[in-house]
Structure 1
C-alpha cells in the first residue's frame, strides 16, 4: 500500500491551489460525476471534497446543503492519508463514534471515500459517499469510485488547461482531446457499470445516444444497434414511453434528479426497474439530453407483493404488526396496530416510527437498535402511549428482515398488549400479599386473645382485693391497656377474616346521635361536634356494632387531625344514585343510599399519601400512637355491607369522609330527587369530557330535563365548537383532566372569547381551590365527580339564572 501522507503540506496545498477552482460556481461536469457516485453506491449523500488549509470545500454535492466545513471534522482529511477509507458503521467504531457529523447533522453512519491524486501523487481531496444508516459496499462499487476519482482529476486538469490556454483555438483543441479521453474512459466505465446510458428527447420520442451492454441486454440488443435509435423503433410500448418522457420533462424543468419505477416485459418474464434520470447538456441541435441509471428491483417488488397478499392474514392477527424501513419510516400497519395504538393505517404509514411510537428514553432506544443490528432480533417489555394518551404495556419482538443477498431491508415489530395481564398480576400479588397479611394477623390475634384474657380476669380480681389507691390506679392502667389491646385484636380479626356480625334493619339517626354524645364526653373541649340529620332517613340493614366502629375510627382520626381544636361534623342524608353517578364510580350501583359524612377542620392529608391511607398497617402517626389498621378496617366493614367510601381533602383546611351504605326501604315510586329537579328552558349546553360514557350520560340527562347539548372530546374541539355556535351555547360543562388541551387552558381560552360564558368545571381529582375560575363570579361553579343528575341540574340552574 502506497503512503498518501504528504511530506510537505505546503506542496499538497500548492497542487490544490494551482487549479484555482476553490469557491467557483457549480458545474454540470462535476455534478454529473458526483450524481453517478451516489447512484452507483446507492447512497443519499455524495461529495467532491477539496481539502484546503483550514476548511473542506465541496465542488459538487448530492444530499447535503452546506458548501464547506472545518478541516478538523469529518472523514475526508483522514481519507487523503489512505488509498481508500471505508467505515461500514461509524457508531460501531470507537474512533469515529463521537465525530460531530456522526452525532449531529448529517448523522453519518456509513462512509466510503477515495482520494483525488493530482499529478505527482499529491492528494488534494476526495470523492466520497455517505449514508445515514449502516451500509455495505461491494468491490465493484469501490472500483467504480476509483474510476470516478480519476475522471474528476482529469476534469480538474481540463479546468486548469482551459485557464492556461493562450488562444481560443488551442483551448478548443486541448479541451477536445481531453474530452475524447474522458468520453473513452466514460464508455469503458459504462461497460462495467449497472444499467445506464445517455439519451436525447426528439419529437416526443427518446433517442438513445449511449447505452452500456447491460442496458442493451434488457432490450435483447447490443449497444451498437441501440445507438442513435428511437425508443419506438425498438418496440417500446406507448404507455412506457409516455411515462419516461413525462419524467424527463420533470427533470429538465426542476434541474433535479427524478426517480420512478416501472415494469418491463421480457421473454423471461416481467422485471421491475427503478430509474433515476438527470438533465446534463444541450446538444448541437438544442435537444435536451439526460443521463439515466437503472436498478433492477424485481426481488423487492416480489416481496412487497407477498406482503400485500399476506396483509389480510396480518389484519386478523391479534398482535400489532408494524414494519419499519431502515430510515425508520412505517411501511406496514395492521388492523391490530390500529386497535391498539389508535392511529389508522393511513395515518401511520409513511410516518417516522420514533416520533409516533418510541416514547422510551434514548438510551433504551439505542439498546434496542444495537441489539437488532448485532443479533438480528430484540425482545422485551415496552411502555407505549396510544393516540388518545392511554398508557399501554406491550411485549415487543423486533426482527431484522434481510433480502436474498443478506442485506438488511427493514425491521418487523410485533407488539402484544399485556397491559391487562400486568394489571391482573399486580392485583394478584396485592391480593396474595393481603392474604398473607390476613393469615399472619389472624394468628397474632388468636395468640393475643389467649394472652389478654387471663390478664383482664386477673386484674379485675385483684381490684376487688386491693384497696390501696396507688395499687388500684396501677391495676386500672393495666386493665385499660388490656382492653385497648382486646379492641385492637377485634379490629385485626375484622380486617383479616371479614367477620360479618349480626345484621338488623335500623335507622342510622340513633347511631349518629349516640356518637355525638360519646364525642362530646370524651374528646377535648376544644373540639366542637355538630350533627346534621335529614328528616325521614331511609333505614339500612347492617351490623350496628361494626358501623359504630366505623364512626369511632373516623372520629378519632378527625380528632388527631385537630390538635388545636376545631369543628367535627357528623351528618346523614338520603341519596339516589343514578346512572350518571354509577357510570363514574365503579363501586356504586343505581339505587337509594344513606350517606354518613364525617368532616373535620384539621390539617388535612398530604396529597402524596392520599392513595395509601386505606392500606393495612400504613400510618402517619408517631410510633406507639397508631396501628395503621383503623381505615383499612373501616374499608373492609363498608365493603362488606355493599357500600363504598370516598375522601376529599384540602391541606390545612380539613378532610371529609363520605360513607355510602345501601338503603333497604325503596318504597318510594318517585326518586327523592324528582321533587327538586330544575327544568331547563331549551338552553344549549356544551359538554367537554374525554370520557365518552360521561359525555353520553350527561347529554341524555340534560335532554331529559328540557336542555339541548353539544359534546366535545377535548379542549381544542370545544373551542372550535364554541367559536362556531357561540350565539346558541348558554353554558359549558368542562372536565379538568383531558388530553391535547386540558380544562384550565380551555376555560381561559373560552373566557377570552366570552368573559360572561357560564362555566361549570368538573373533576374527579381536583378540588374547587385548584380550579382557575373566579370564585366570586356567580356564573361560574365547580362540581366534583361523581355527581348525580340532581346535583348537575341544580348547579346548572344556579349558574344560568345568574
Structure 2
C-alpha cells in the first residue's frame, strides 16, 4: 500500500490553478484595483502578483515593464509563505533584505508592502504589493485600504471563475448603487454648499459668478468685496438686491485705465469664447490685480454664466521688480560673479563673467566648472574648497585661461553660501581682472631692476676708471723709457685694451646715468640725413636704407652726439640681424600722446613727442627674450661679437632725455624700435596744427577687437569725435554684423590677432563683400610691412598699437577721404 504526502505547497498551487488565471490577458477590473493601490500609497510601482511553482506572474501592474520574474527573487514569496502582511519601510536598513538583487539593482527597491491574496481554503496564492525606490512609512489607514483591495482582488477572481455569481453580484451592486444615489442625492447639495463656504473663508482668491442671462450675482466671497472696496454693498449683494451692473460704478473708481479694461472685457461676452482668460488690471492706488475668467456651463453644456477669480499680486510684482533690479546690479558689476554648487556646477554667471572668460551664460549655466576651466589644477580647487568650507571664505590670485585661450590673472574671492538651515549650499565667487595691473607691476619692477643695475654699474664704472687711469698714464711713461720694438708692441697692446676698457665704461655710464652732455635745441632732420649717408657708405651694399621725415618735424632738447649714438647702435643691430642683406627704414614724425596711450604704456606721459622708428627686415627677436634685451650685458649675438651694452645704453640715453623706447618683433620678418622724445614747447603751436583732432561726420565705424578694454576705449574715443560705433569681439561676429548693417557701416578697424577668425581672414572676407570698404588694420605685434594689405589702395591703412586718439582720427580721416 503506497502512502501519498499532500503538502501545503501542493494545496496552494491547486488553489491557484483552480482560477485558471495564469498567462491570461490584462483585464480592466484588475488593472483598476492595482491602479488604486498605487494611488493610495502614492508609489510608482504596484503589482497583483500570483506566485506559481517556479515563477511570479503579474496579472496587473503599474510602473513595471516585465510580465514575470523568478520565484526566488523579491519579497512576495516571503509574504505568501507567511500568509500575512509583509511591510519593509527601508530595505537597506534590514540586513535580511539589504543585499537582495532587486535592492542593489533594478528596480532598486527601498520600500515594500505586500498583502496576501488568500483563497477561501486559506491558501495564499499571491500578493497585492506596492513598491517605491525611496524609504517610506505606511500609515494605518493605508494598510486598511490595501487589505480591502486585496479582498476585492480575491472577490474578482471568484466572480471570474463563477459567472453566475458575477450576475448576482452585479444585481446587488445595482441595488446598492441606487440606494446610495438616493441617500447621497440630498446630501450632495449640502456638501457642495459646505465646501464652497469653506473655500470662500480660507481662499486668498476673490471669486465672483454672474448669470449672463439675467445679470444676477450668483456667488461671491468676502475677498472679492475687499479687493474691489465694496464691503458696504456686501449685505445687499447677499440679499439679491443688487445686480452686476449695480456694482460696476463702484468698482470702476479703482481702475487706472478704464478704456483698456472695457476692451479686455468685450471678448468675454461671446458664448463662443470658451478659453480661460488671464490678464492683469492696474488700480489707481498702485495695486496690480490678476484676473482669471472662464465660462460656466450646465450639464447640457449650455452657457449660463461667467466665473471671475481675482488675486492681488502687488507684493509679488514688487518682489519680482526687486529681483530684476538685483539681477541688473549683478550684470552691471565690473567683476565676474559666479555661483557654484558644492559639486562645482555653475548656477549663476553674470555679464562680466561672459566678457572676462568668453563663455556666454547659456554655455556656462549647468556645466561643471572643470569643463570650462580645465587648466585649474584639481588639487588647488580642492584646497580652496576645503578652506571655504572650514573658514567660510578664501581670497587670493588665480591664473585662468579664457575660452579664446587668453591667459588671465584674477583676484578671486570665494564666500560660502548657507541654506535656511545654516548648512553649506553653494560658493559665491567674485573674480576681478588684474591682468593689466600685473603687467604694470611687471613694468614697474623691471624699471626698478634696471635702476638698481644702473646704480650698481655706475659705481663699478667709477672704480674701474680709477683703476684704468694710472695704468694708461704708466703705459705712456714706459713707452718713453723702453723704446725697443718688442716692448713698444707689448705696451701698445696694453694701451689699446685700456682705451677699449675706458670706452666700455663710458657706455656703462651712459646706461647708468644717461650722461646729460651738451643739451640744446636740436633738429633731428640733420642727424637723420647725416646718419643715412654714413650707413650708405659703410654698410654692405645688400642693405637698402630709406628715410621718412615729416616736413614740419618739431625740434627736441637734447645732446646731438648721444642721439646720434642711439641711432647708430640701433642701425648696427639692424645690420647684424640681416647678414644676407635687407631693408632698414628710419622715420621721424610728430605725435601727441593722450591719456588713452598712457593707460596702455606705463612709461608714457601726456604731451607732445617726436617718434623715431628704426625698422629692419632681419631674423627678429624671440618673444621670450624681448623683455630682457635692454638689460646690461644681455646679448643674443655670438660670443665675442657683442658686449650686451648697446641697447642698455640706448635705454639710458633716451630715459635721460625724458623719453621712452618700445619694440615689436616677429621671427623671420623683422624688428621695429620706436623712440619717443619730448618735443620742445617753443614750437607747440606748430605741432598743434598737425595734431588737431579731426572730427567725424556721423559715420558708422565697425570696431573688431577681442580685447574688451581696447574695444571700449577706441569706441569711446571715436564717439566723442562724432562717429557712431558698432563693436564685434571676433571676425565671425564682425562678418555677421556687416552683413546686417552693410548699408550703414562706412569703415572698419580690425585687430590682426583674434580667436575664431583672425584679422587677415576677416579683412579678406569683408573686401569680397565690399571691395571699396575702408579698412584700418591694427596690431601690437606686426608692422605695416608684415600686414597683408593692398598698399596701393587708398581704402586700407595700418595702425600700430598702442596708438593715440590723434593717430586714430587722422588714419580714419585718410581712409574715408
TM score, norm. by length of structure 2: 0.56
Whether the 8 Å contact between 1:686 and 1:709 is mirrored in structure 2 is: yes
Is 1:577–2:597 an aligned residue pair? Answer: no
Do 1:383 and 1:394's aligned partners in 2 also have CA atoms closer than 8 Å? no
Tell me how far apart the structure 2 counterparts of residues 799 and 753 of structure 1 sit (CA, whole Å): 18
Query: What is the alpha-carbon distance in structure 2 between the residues aligned to residue 617 and residue 632 of structure 1?
Result: 8
Query: What's the secondary structure of 2:683's corresponding residue?
Result: coil
Alpha-carbon distance change, 143 to 539 in structure 1, aligned in 2, over 3 angstroms: same
Using the TM superposition, give the Cα deviation of residue 541 of structure 1 relative to its aligned residue in structure 2, in angstroms.
0.9
Of the three residues 619, 633, 637, the one matched with 2:653 is 637
Q: Which moved more, 1:392-401 or 1:761-770?
A: 761-770
- Contact residue 346 and residue 369 of structure 2 kept, 8 A: no
Partner of 2:717: 697
Match of 2:376 in 1: 361
Q: Secondary structure at the match of 1:660?
A: strand
1:128 to 2:141 alignment: no
The residue aligned with 2:313 is: none
- Cα distance 1:777–1:419, how it changes in 2: closer, same or farther (>3 A)? closer
**TM-superposition CA deviations, 1:282-317 (whole Å, max 9, x none):** xxxxxxxxxxxxxxxxxxx9xx99x99x989x9999
Partner of 2:727: 712
Using the alignment, how far apart are the partners of 1:126 and 1:466 within structure 2?
118
Q: 1:233 aligns with which of 194, 198, 217?
A: 198
Aligned partners of 1:647 and 1:656 also within 8 Å: yes
Equivalent-residue separation in structure 1 for 2:564 and 2:517 (angstroms)? 12
Aligned to 2:365: 352
Q: TM-score, normalised by structure 1?
A: 0.57
2:91 counterpart residue number: 84
Q: Answer yes or no: is the 8 Å Cα contact 1:386–1:392 preserved in 2.
A: no
Indicate if the aligned counterparts of 1:371 and 1:378 stay in contact, CA closer than 8 A.
Answer: no
Whether 1:396 aligns to 2:361 is no
Distance 1:698 1:163, change over 3 A: farther
Give 1:594's aligned residue.
610
Q: Pick which of 391-400 and 234-243 moved more.
A: 234-243
- How far apart, CA to CA, are the structure 1 residues paired with 2:562 and 2:380? 55
Instruction: Pick the structure with greater CA Rg.
Output: 2
Match of 1:285 in 2: none
Contact 2:549–2:589 at 8 Å: present in 1 too? no
1:554 aligns with 2:570: yes
Query: What displacement does 1:784 show?
Result: 2.8
Note closer, same or farther for the CA distance 1:686–1:501 as it changes in structure 2 (3 Å cut). same
Q: Once the 2 structures are TM-superposed, how far is the Cα of residue 561 of structure 1 from its aligned partner?
A: 0.9
* Deviation per residue, 1:727-756 (Å, 9 max, x gap): 344433333456887645654554464355
- Please give the alpha-carbon distance, in whole angstroms, between the structure 2 residues aligned to 1:790 and 1:543: 28
1:350-749 superposed matches below 5 A: 352=365, 359=373, 361=376, 363=378, 367=382, 371=386, 375=390, 377=392, 379-381=394-396, 382-383=398-399, 391=408, 393-399=410-416, 401-404=418-421, 407-413=423-429, 426=442, 429-430=445-446, 433-434=449-450, 436-464=452-480, 472=488, 474-512=490-528, 515-516=531-532, 519=535, 527=543, 537-569=553-585, 571=586, 573-577=588-592, 579=594, 582=597, 586=601, 587-588=603-604, 592-664=608-680, 666-667=682-683, 669-671=685-687, 674=690, 684-689=699-704, 690=708, 691-699=711-719, 703=722, 709-714=724-729, 718-719=734-735, 722-736=738-752, 743-744=759-760, 746-747=762-763
Deviation for aligned residue 1:686: 1.9
Deviations 1:567-600 (A, max 9, x none): 545x453414265984786455565433333333
Distance 2:363 2:617 in 1: 58
CA distance in 2 between counterparts of 1:575 and 1:757 reads 28
Q: Can you give the 5+ residue segments of structure 2 that lack an aligned partner in the other structure?
A: 1-21, 49-54, 56-60, 76-87, 94-103, 117-123, 171-187, 209-315
Shift of 1:765: 3.0
The separation in 1 between residues aligned to 2:449 and 2:550, in whole angstroms, is 41
Instruction: Give 3-state SS (helix, strand or coil) of 1:605's partner.
Output: coil
SS in 1 for 2:204: helix
CA distance in 1, matches of 2:526, 2:479: 35
Q: Which SS does the other structure have where 1:230 is aligned? A: helix
Q: Distance in 2 between matches of 1:171 and 1:760?
A: 97
**Equivalence map 1:71-110=2 (5 Å):** 84-85=91-92
Cα distance in 2 for partners of 1:562, 1:634 equals 20
Listed as ranges, the matches of 1:733-772 within 5 Å are: 733-736=749-752, 743-744=759-760, 746-747=762-763, 750-751=766-767, 753-768=769-784
Specify whether residues 327 and 468 from structure 1 end up closer, same or farther in structure 2 by C-alpha distance, changes over 3 A only: same
Q: CA deviation at 1:540?
A: 1.6
Q: Deviations over 1:217-253 (max 9, x none)?
A: xxxxxxxx9999626326643335989xxxxxxxxxx
2:510, 2:649 within 8 Å by CA — same for their partners in 1?
Answer: yes
Question: 2:592·2:804 contact (CA, 8 Å) conserved in 1?
Answer: yes
Residue 483 of structure 1, CA deviation: 3.1
- Encode CA deviations 1:694-731: one digit per residue, 9 max, x unaligned: 22334555x5xxxx644435457755654454334443
Per-residue CA deviations over 1:529-586 (Å, capped at 9, x if unaligned) read 56565566533211334323322321231232122344545x4534142659847864
Equivalent pair of 2:346/2:367 in contact (CA under 8 Å): no
The number of residue pairs the alignment matches comes to 611
Contact 1:578–1:591 (CA under 8 A) maintained in structure 2: yes
Structure 2 CA distance for partners of 1:624 and 1:769, relative to 1, 3 Å = same
Change (3 A) 1:165 1:726: same
State the partner residue of 2:798.
782
Q: Identify if the C-alpha distance between structure 1 residues 157 and 332 changes in structure 2 by more than 3 Å, giving closer, same or farther.
A: farther
Instruction: Give the secondary-structure state (helix, strand or coil) at the position aligned to 2:418.
Output: strand
Contact 2:587–2:614 under 8 Å retained in 1? no
SS of the equivalent of 1:659 reads strand
Partner SS for 2:572: helix
SS in 1 for 2:777: strand
Residue 321 of structure 1 contacts residue 414 of structure 1 at CA under 8 Å; is this kept in 2? yes
After TM superposition, give the deviation of residue 785 of structure 1 in Å: 3.4
Q: Could you give the per-residue CA deviations for residues 156-204 of structure 1, whole angstroms, max 9, x where no partner exists?
A: 999999899844879999x99xxxxxxxxxxxxxxxxxxxxxxxxxxxx
8 A contact 1:330–1:348 mirrored in 2: no
